[in-house]
Amino acid sequence: MAEQTKRPRRTSVEIKSFLEIFKQSGSNTKEFCKTHGINRAAFYGWKRRYALKVPLKKSSFLLLEQLPVPSTSEPALFAEVKGIKIYQSVEASYLKELLA
């Protein structure tokens, strides 16, 4: 039976360093792991655990800009969303229906 060599245990700093080197190398996973003597399954685990998280899906919330209240007798503009002027506080469901 063939002897198995004990694989080195990597620290989180080493793993993050390998991931950064991989990101900058432009090579594929198979080539990178072969070059650096890393088990591919372990490397995929590192990527899952330590790589930067993928940004979440676009939120259904809209960014509103609150405008300053004018000192005239006109009704105060509460917010403006994609050209739609809103003069009072409204519920989010109303905005969603309005923009749909």
Does residue 20 sit in the same domain as residue 46?
yes
Whether 3 is in a domain gets the answer no
Q: Which helix (H) or strand (E) holds 97?
A: helix 92-99
Does residue 19 sit in the same domain as residue 45?
yes
Whether 19 is in a domain gets the answer yes
CATH number of residue 44's parent domain: 1.10.10
pLDDT at 4: 64
Whether 1 is in a domain gets the answer no
Whether 5 is in a domain gets the answer no
CA angle centred on 30, ends 24 and 34, rounded to 5°: 90
Model confidence pTM above 0.85: no
Does residue 17 sit in the same domain as residue 46?
yes
Domain of residue 45: give its range: 12-50
Count of structural domains within the chain: 2
Q: What is the DSSP letter of 84?
A: E
- Are 33 and 43 in contact by the 8 Å Cβ rule? The answer is yes
Does residue 16 sit in the same domain as residue 46?
yes
Whether 7 is in a domain gets the answer no
Local mean pLDDT, 10-residue blocks, the chain (100 residues)? 68 88 89 91 88 62 72 70 78 76
